[in-house]
């Protein structure tokens, strides 16, 4: 074979950065002499091109093939592979990459399915070929589905793949002889999606985490043990177990929800419509009527002019509040499963939550001060105001620590916002129970107050209003001062509709503090925690959006 190793780059096409690799036979890719250049050159380049690869900003130290196995299907040149990626900072991540081999003439076909699918061009005595992401191949995707239809253990070189199915699979799949059309979901930040139209979707987890995954665990529990039907039913999972027994979730097969888009896009559409109605008429309602308090648990109904301006979205926000409360009722149901049984909320829980929030608040607040000279004048002024209210922030944390709410803690969504719900037939379906990205699995599986989910959604309404404002004034900056009160009006009244219906549906629920003052204080704490988390994210990833969590924090400290 050719001699490209770690010391030098592989030969490749400069236009597409796809390296070439000579092998004696395709089936020797992972066990033969080709393995070293595969690890040193092919996979590092391939990973950097993938949207789901999380290490783009880190110095890559090495890529190692941890385990692999050729597909258990006759006549298929596909392999399931797990890779260990190590970084210069000492960190390590695992990735799942199904790979396939095909004649070189098929290259453009696979690129049409997944533009970044190609990993390498292969030269063999049998002819030219390509190594590519197997999810671009319909036959490989069909073979994955067959693993659920015919559950089995699939031995790899070191570990084993288990196929787990739920009682919902037969109904969701339908007759196994009925053909399903295969499509790919839109590129995603961390996962890949294969659609088996019109019935199922396979969520393929690229970045792997050892342990019980909350997305499978929560979805399976809601499917098998509750009557809550506003979530996609889980049909099964692909779970790889290492030699030490630790599980890694590779895939989650779920009901395909036919929808009209996600809650985020639906909210932005309404913000645009509201601005279009209000601005030409010089809509005075936002200025003439006081806004409901951010933590007013029983605010009045919106004035008629505001209700007409926002329109049916107020009902939509209320419906989302009802579905959210119903989810929390389902997760608070009595059960013998210790991972889901409600538990009393204790002072130790509050202490742990507050200590974590305090610790995590230090970094964004320090970073805000360090970046002061790079902020716009408006944002810099907001940052100074926040710095002047740090004593109030500490006091808010102290007040949360002093609470004695009579309530239980339960499993929650954990990363709840408008992008995590689908609009389906004038209703909502809640999805993606992975929890907050960046947190360890143990934290994402921990029981919490469901008010954390409520806080996440309330912050999402604020983001929708601000993103809508930014979009509306991008080409008309002079309109900003007229639209900003309207954006705040939209945010407060939609938040109020959501919260009011949530509290009505969750009335007397064991997971809500009976005392309204305790409830408001605990909700305020989770809103502060979420806004600080957002501030950290925006400082690192989207500095132009720092003003959104900053304004949210100032509102909370002033409310």
Mean per-residue pLDDT over the chain, rounded: 91
The pLDDT confidence band at residue 3, using thresholds 50, 70 and 90, is very low
The pLDDT confidence band at residue 284, using thresholds 50, 70 and 90, is low
At residue 261, the pLDDT reads 96
Q: Does pTM surpass 0.85?
A: yes
Residue 551 clears pLDDT 50, i.e. is over it: yes
Angle at 75 between CA 73 and CA 76, to 5 degrees: 65
Query: Virtual CA dihedral for 484, 488, 489, 494, nearest 10 degrees?
Result: 140
C-alpha dist (Å) from residue 529 to 382, 455, 553: 18, 9, 9
At residue 149, the pLDDT reads 93
In the chain, CATH 3.90.1200.10 sits at 263-281+294-558
Across residues 279-293, what is the average pLDDT?
Answer: 62
Torsion sign over Cα 65, 66, 71, 72: positive
Residue 9 clears pLDDT 80, i.e. is over it: no
* Lowest mean per-residue pLDDT among 106-120, 190-204, 265-279, 326-340: 106-120
At residue 285, the pLDDT reads 52
Which tens digits make up the pLDDT trace of 203-237?
999 999 999 999 999 999 999 999 999 999 999 99
Residue 43, both tokens: 């996979």
At residue 13, the pLDDT reads 43
At residue 4, the pLDDT reads 27
Which tens digits make up the pLDDT trace of 440-485?
999 999 999 999 999 999 999 999 999 999 999 888 888 888 899 9
At residue 289, the pLDDT reads 62
Torsion sign over Cα 88, 92, 96, 100: positive
User: What is 263-281+294-558's CATH number?
Assistant: 3.90.1200.10
At residue 12, the pLDDT reads 43
* First-last CA distance in the chain: 70
The pLDDT confidence band at residue 186, using thresholds 50, 70 and 90, is confident
| Cα–Cα distance measured from residue 201 to residue 188, given in angstroms and rounded to the nearest whole number | 14
Q: Omega into 455 within 30° of 0, i.e. cis?
A: no
* Torsions phi, psi for 245 (to 5 deg): 95, -10
Residue 262 clears pLDDT 70, i.e. is over it: yes
């Amino acid at each position: 074979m050719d001699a490209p190793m770690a010391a030098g780059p592989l030969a490749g096409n400069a236009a597409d950065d796809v390296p070439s690799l000579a092998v004696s036979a395709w089936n020797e890719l992972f066990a033969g002499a080709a393995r070293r250049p595969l690890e040193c050159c092919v996979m590092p380049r391939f990973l950097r091109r993938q949207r789901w690869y999380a290490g783009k900003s880190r110095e890559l130290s090495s890529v190692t093939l941890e385990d692999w196995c050729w597909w258990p299907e006759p006549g298929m040149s596909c392999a399931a592979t797990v890779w260990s990626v190590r970084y210069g900072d000492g960190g390590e991540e695992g990735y799942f990459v199904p790979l396939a081999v095909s004649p070189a003439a098929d290259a453009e076909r696979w690129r049409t399915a997944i533009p970044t699918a190609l990993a390498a061009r292969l030269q063999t005595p049998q002819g030219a070929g390509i190594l590519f992401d197997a999810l671009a191949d319909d036959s490989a995707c069909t073979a994955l589905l067959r693993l659920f239809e015919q559950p089995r253990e699939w031995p790899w070189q070191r570990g084993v793949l288990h196929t787990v199915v739920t009682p919902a699979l037969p109904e969701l799949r339908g007759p196994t002889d009925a053909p399903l059309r295969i499509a790919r979901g839109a590129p995603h930040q961390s996962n890949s999606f294969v659609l088996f139209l019109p019935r199922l979707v396979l969520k393929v987890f690229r970045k792997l985490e050892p342990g019980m995954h909350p997305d499978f665990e929560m979805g399976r529990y809601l499917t098998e043990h509750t009557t809550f039907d506003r979530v996609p039913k889980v049909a099964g999972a692909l779970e790889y177990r290492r030699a030490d027994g630790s599980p890694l979730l590779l895939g989650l097969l779920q009901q395909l929800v036919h929808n009209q888009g996600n809650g985020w896009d639906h909210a932005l559409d309404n913000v645009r419509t509201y601005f279009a109605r209000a601005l030409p008429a010089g809509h005075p309602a936002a200025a003439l009527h006081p806004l409901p308090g951010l933590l007013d648990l029983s605010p009045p109904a919106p004035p008629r002019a505001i209700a007409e301006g926002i329109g049916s979205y107020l009902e939509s926000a209320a419906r989302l509040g009802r579905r959210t409360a119903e989810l929390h009722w389902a997760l608070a149901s009595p059960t013998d499963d210790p991972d889901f049984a409600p538990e009393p909320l204790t002072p130790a829980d509050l202490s742990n939550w507050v200590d974590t929030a305090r610790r995590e608040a230090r970094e964004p607040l320090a970073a805000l001060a360090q970046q002061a000279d790079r902020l716009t004048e408006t944002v810099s002024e907001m940052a100074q105001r926040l710095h002047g209210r740090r004593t109030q922030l500490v006091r808010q944390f102290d007040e949360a620590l002093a609470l004695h709410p009579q309530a239980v803690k339960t499993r929650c969504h954990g990363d709840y916002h408008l992008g995590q719900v689908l609009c389906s037939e004038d209703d909502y379906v809640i999805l993606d129970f992975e929890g907050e990205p960046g947190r360890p699995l143990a934290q994402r599986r921990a029981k919490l107050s469901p008010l954390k989910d409520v806080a996440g959604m309330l912050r999402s309404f604020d983001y929708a209003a601000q993103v809508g404002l930014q979009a509306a004034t991008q080409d008309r900056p002079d309109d900003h001062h007229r639209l900003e009160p309207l954006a705040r009006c939209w945010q407060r009244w939609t938040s109020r509709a959501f919260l009011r219906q949530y509290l009505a549906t969750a009335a007397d629920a064991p997971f809500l503090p009976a005392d309204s003052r305790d409830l408001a204080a605990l909700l305020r704490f989770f809103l502060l925690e979420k806004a600080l988390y957002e501030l950290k994210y925006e400082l690192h990833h989207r500095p132009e959006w720092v003003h959104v969590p900053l304004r949210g924090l100032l509102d909370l400290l002033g409310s």
